[in-house]
Amino acid sequence: MFRTALRNVLAHKARLMMTALAVLLGVAFVSGTLVFSDTVGEAVKKASAKSFKDVAVSVQATSGDAPPIPEDGQNRSTLLTDRLADQVRSLPGVAAVHANVSGRATVADKDNQPIGNDWQNVATNYQPGEGGKDSRYPVVQGRGPAAAGEIALDEATAEKGGLKLGDTVRFATDGPALHKKLVGIVHSEDPQVTAGGSLALFDTATAQKLFVHPGQYDELVVAAKPGTDEKALTAAVEKLLPKDRATATSGATLAADQAKMVEMSNQAMSKTLLVFAGIALFVGIFIIANTFTMLISQRSREIALMRAIGASRRQVVHSVLAEAGLLGLVSSVVGFALGTGIAVTMRAVLNANGAGFPDGPLVISPSAVLSALGVGVLVTVLAAWLPSRKAAKIAPVEALNTVDAAPKLRGLVVRNTIGAVVTGLGVAIMLYVSTQKTAEDMMTPMAGSALTLVGVIVLAPLLSRPLVSLTGKVTTRIFGVSGKLAKENALRNPRRTAATASALMIGLTLITGMTVVGVSGQRASDEMAAQGLTADYQVSTANFRGLDPELTKRAARLPGVQAAVPLRSAAFETDGGSGYGSITGTDLAHLDKVAGLTFVDGSLDAVRDGGVAVSRSRAEKLHWKTGETHEVGFFTGTEKKEKARLKVAAVYEDNATVGDLFGSTTLVDPHVKPLKDEKVLVKTANGPDAGLEKEIRKALGDSPLLKVQDKDALRKENAGSIDTVLNMVYGLLGMAVIIAVVGVVNTLAMSVFERTREIGMLRAIGLARSGIKQMVRLESVVISLFGAVLGIGVGIFLAWAGGKMTAASMPTYEMILPWDRLGIFLAIALVVGVLAAAWPARRAARLNMLESIGAQ
């Protein structure tokens, strides 16, 4: 029976090619994901380990017990001083101590645009050792910084900014732009820098002035002499530290923790990609099952003959499964090779777009090979299991038939009943989800979506008749006999039509659902961004650290500026810990110029008299009413909270500009340390003006971190992030759609083979070759449009139900149907139908009339 299975695979190479392609693409997706994540993960681990190579002990101040930030808010204080560094240096076994100052500095390019992401833009002190060089940062050009007006950058940052030795570098740490002379370009293997960030080096005194206080450091890195016990040295260092005020960690522990973090991050990315790979393989199951069902139907006489000469049912099942296993194994091997190429390409493309993955060799682990091959073979065998059982039921007497009989169609009563139950359960769950006012539980909507989708797939044969018939009326009216034949062919075997269309339906359901939710969320986000905003500009910083209030006052004095209103916030806990919130402190005298407020109760004047205003939704949640006074505890960064009493003077309609609660700056300022303006709303006399925007930037320090945005810029910023996510989803789900196209091609090609005699008869009674081609093309289009209509319909329903839950956390959310994109999806399905039919239609039209009539 194994030889029979091998012979069948070799005998039906052309028929199984498309099925093999479906398995191949799915396995390529899985293997590409595994190889990519292993390769990148190993490269990042090695880079991280290398950064800890000379670290025996790391000493850091405990942030929770460090002295409070000074009132001026300029720099943080630490417990790591020159005195402590000297004590550590004197310990036996210590070879050297690097006293590091750490901060963030964002460098501007020639167009004053920030280079890198702020959270990856590393700034530290250059510490020359023997030979006047810092071994951590090999100098490529020039020298290390040695004076207050000097700076050194890493190679990539200098190249991105177009900066050369001697140029003036513009950068920002946490305020106005600063300027220093570029005296050196260095090489860095810091994982943050290689991952797309930047490195700025200063002399120690300058770094301390920028980020901490003179004589203080963020970290003491201890290097050990050869043969020194790392654990013993860590314990010795720990004895020198103030109790519960600083920690000493061994280099081995730091490297292990870093590797663990990298692994967790890598797993998160891999799981996301594997979900889409699973969708692609799920789509492939329909194609594999469809192919083997048709093959068994075509080989029914052959199987009956095997049964007549003594083959048992179990042997027939094993033969079909062995055939599927061989197909899955060969396809998986080729798919793994393709996936490896995808992993290499993906890494190169992402690096070209600024991902900054560290260099490293390609990693192909045994687990990745076994997982990819195992998944490919298992999916193929499972998909062929039901067709194999059908093959085993073929009676030996069928070998005596001299005429090919049409395959018997089984009833759909049981299938329709199961489908109705599953669909009903899924729809019921999604209707329940639509009533929820919180988005915390994601498992319920995911389960409801899966059940709804599976239920519709099971019901697809039942749904195919009315939908295909309706489409068939259009094709018949336009294309005549060819259109009518196409409709009848699609309806001839509803199970096959449904299985073919379902593969396309799955991809379009997910794409449609994500599109509707994304577009609706984008519209809601736009409305929230501009909700109640009457200012011409919103000023903020890219690093979310805020602006110096003095700069805000400077902007308010500019000619043409009517008002510059600061927004700063403080978090609090209500009396008894029953609720939490945040209050916005603002300039109440000019707030009405930059924010459109609608008061339900009370007024802005009442708030100016010393009260606070609460949004209607927050007032309902906290059960606060106008005239009441409530005690709250403002968070200070320690367990102790600063008590205050808030008098509710007004209630207003929800407004994203001022948040849930606002009052005067004098009320909020004592609880904000350091004192910074999170946003500044600017109202001008004559509306947005490029010249005035430039003056505002100049007044606020012209930092590369500064964001001066009008309403259109705010909308574009929100739209850009959502479009990026949607484009990524389209790309990942595109694989599933490609596999679905393969399924349509496969079904049509085998359908043409199955109907060889019928096509010959049609040619004999006068149907031209062009008519045959048109018939096959229209059948393909009908099946594709059926799958597209089902997919778009289910996708819209799931987006509606899930969107109801989203509206709970986003009050401005309202489902928007993007008809232009939905029209594109239908057009894509139409194109899929035409392209998928190209080869089968050509093959059908070229069949010899007489040979086809005589075919058995």
Q: What DSSP line would sit under 522-556, residue for residue?
A: HHHHHHHHHTTB--SEEEEETTS--B-HHHHHHHH
Cβ atoms of 82 and 127 closer than 8 Å:
no
First to last CA, the chain: 24
pLDDT at position 72, please?
44
Confidence check: pLDDT of 658 > 50:
yes
Buried-exposed string 527-560: b where 16+ CB fall within 10 A, e elsewhere: bbbbbbbebbbbbbbebebbbbbebbebbbeeee
Q: Give the containing element (helix H, strand E) for 64.
A: none
Which residues make Cβ contacts (< 8 Å) with residue 666, sequence separation at least 6?
585
pLDDT reading at 200 higher than 90 = yes
Average pLDDT over residues 308-324: 81
The confidence score (pLDDT) of residue 13 equals 59
CB atoms within 10 A of CB 639: 7
Torsion angle, CA of 525/530/536/542, rounded to 10 degrees? -30
> Worst-scoring range by mean pLDDT, 487-496, 498-507, 754-763, 788-797?
754-763
**Residue 736 token pair:** 């599933």
Give one word for 636, left, alpha or beta, with left for phi > 0 and alpha for psi -120 to 50: alpha
In angstroms, what CA-CA distances link 424 with 419, 453, 460, 805?
A: 8, 11, 14, 20
Please tell me the predicted confidence (pLDDT) of residue 68. Answer: 40
- Token pair of 324, please? 């599927």
Concatenate the DSSP letters of all residues of 425-482 into one string. HHHHHHHHHTT-S-----HHHHHHHHHHHHHHHHHHHHHHHHHHHHHHHHHHHHHTHH
Contacts of 641 (CB under 8 A, 6+ apart): 572, 573, 633, 634, 635
Q: Tens of pLDDT along 325-362?
A: 888 888 889 889 988 888 888 777 766 665 666 677 88
Helix H or strand E segment including 655: none
* CA 20 – CA 196 distance, rounded (Å): 40
- According to the model, what pLDDT value does residue 581 have? 84
pLDDT for residue 70: 42
Q: What is the mean pLDDT of residues 487-501?
A: 82
Helix (H) or strand (E) holding 227: none
Contacts of 177 (CB under 8 A, 6+ apart): 108, 170, 171, 701, 702, 703, 704
Contacts (Cβ under 8 Å, ≥6 apart) of 263 = 41, 45
Evaluate the omega torsion of the peptide bond into residue 145 and state whether it is cis, within 30 degrees of 0: no
Can you spell out the DSSP letters for 310-349?
A: T--HHHHHHHHHHHHHHHHHHHHHHHHHHHHHHHHHHHHH
Between 807 and 318, the more confident residue is 318
Average pLDDT value for residue range 422-426: 92
For residues 497 and 503, what is the distance between their CA atoms, to the nearest angstrom? 10
Q: Tokens representing 280? A: 């692609």
Least confident of 118-132, 262-276, 300-314: 262-276
C-alpha to C-alpha distance for 550 and 529, rounded to whole angstroms: 26
Residue closest to 17 by CA, chosen among 834, 751, 745:
745
The yes-or-no verdict on residue 224 having pLDDT over 80 is yes
CA dist., res. 252 & res. 232, Å (int):
13
412-449 b/e (C-beta count within 10 Å ≥ 16 → b)? beebeeebeebbebbbebbeebbeeeeeeeeeebeebb
State the burial class of residue 484 (Cβ atoms within 10 Å of its Cβ: 0-12, 13-18, 19+): middle
Q: Report the C-alpha gap between 607 and 809 in whole angstroms.
A: 27
Q: How many C-beta atoms surround the C-beta of residue 466 within 10 A?
A: 9
Which residue would you say has higher pLDDT here, 855 or 740?
Answer: 740
CA distance 830 to 832: 5
**Across residues 564-578, what is the average pLDDT?**
84
d(CA 617, CA 613): 12
Q: Tell me, what's the pLDDT at 64?
A: 42
The whole-angstrom separation of Cα 330 and Cα 9 is 11
Whole-number pLDDT of residue 528: 67
Mean pLDDT confidence for 105-133: 85
Structure tokens at 34: 């595994």
| pLDDT tens figures, 33-66 | 888 888 877 777 776 666 666 788 888 876 544 4
Q: How many Cβ atoms sit within 10 Å of the Cβ of residue 638? A: 9
**Quick one: CA dihedral 75, 77, 78, 84, positive or negative?**
positive
pLDDT above 60: residue 409: no
pLDDT band at 158, cuts 50/70/90?
A: very high
Query: Computed over its alpha carbons, how large is the radius of gyration of the chain?
Result: 34
Whether 386 contacts 392, CB under 8 Å: no
Does the pLDDT at position 268 exceed 80? no
Q: What is the mean pLDDT of the chain?
A: 82
**What average pLDDT does this structure show over 531-560?**
86
The answer to whether 555 and 680 are in contact (CB under 8 A) is yes
Q: Residue 311 — very low, low, confident or very high, per pLDDT cuts 50/70/90?
A: confident
Separation CA 33–CA 270 (nearest Å) = 6
Beta carbons of 324 and 534 less than 8 angstroms apart: no
CB neighbourhood size of 264 (10 A): 9
Candidate from 11-15, 511-515, 572-576, 689-693 with smallest mean pLDDT: 11-15
- Mean pLDDT along residues 718-733: 71
Closest CA to 472 of 456, 488, 448, 495: 488
The arithmetic mean of pLDDT across residues 367-393, rounded, is 84
Q: Please name the residue that has the structure tokens 């296993």.
A: 325
Cα gap 655→531, rounded to integer Å:
6
Find residue 642's DSSP bridge partners: 634
Q: Which two tokens stand for residue 439?
A: 């988005």
* 9 has a pLDDT exceeding 60: no
Would you state the pLDDT for residue 356? 61
Buried/exposed 325-359: b ≥16 CB within 10 Å, e otherwise: bbbbbbbbbbbbebbbebbeebbeeeeeeeebbbe
Label residue 67 by pLDDT band (50, 70, 90): very low
> How is residue 437 written in tokens?
């006012």
For residue 8, name the pLDDT band (cuts at 50, 70, 90).
Answer: low
Distance between CA atoms of 849 and 758, rounded to whole angstroms? 10
Structural domain boundaries in the chain: 51-260, 460-532+711-856, 537-709
Q: Please name the residues in contact with 525: beta carbons below 8 A apart, sequence gap of 6 or more.
A: 718, 719, 722, 810, 812
DSSP letter (8 states) at residue 260: H
Q: Is the pLDDT of residue 296 over 80?
A: no
Give the model's pLDDT for residue 167.
93
Which of the two residues, 147 and 279, has the higher pLDDT score?
Answer: 147
Partners of 181 in the β-ladder: 150, 168
State which H helix or E strand residue 719 sits in. helix 711-754
Residue range 748-775: mean pLDDT, rounded: 77
pLDDT band of 185, cuts 50, 70, 90: very high
d(Cα 255, Cα 724) in Å, to the nearest integer?
A: 34
User: What is the per-residue pLDDT for 1?
Assistant: 56
| pLDDT confidence tier of residue 452, bands split at 50, 70 and 90 | very high
pLDDT top residue among 226 and 749:
226
Best CA proximity match to 40, nearest among 321, 300, 327, 368 = 368
Mean pLDDT for 278-296 is 75
For the chain, percent of residues with pLDDT exceeding 90: 18
Instruction: Classify strands 178-186 and 150-154 as parallel, antiparallel or unpaired.
Output: parallel
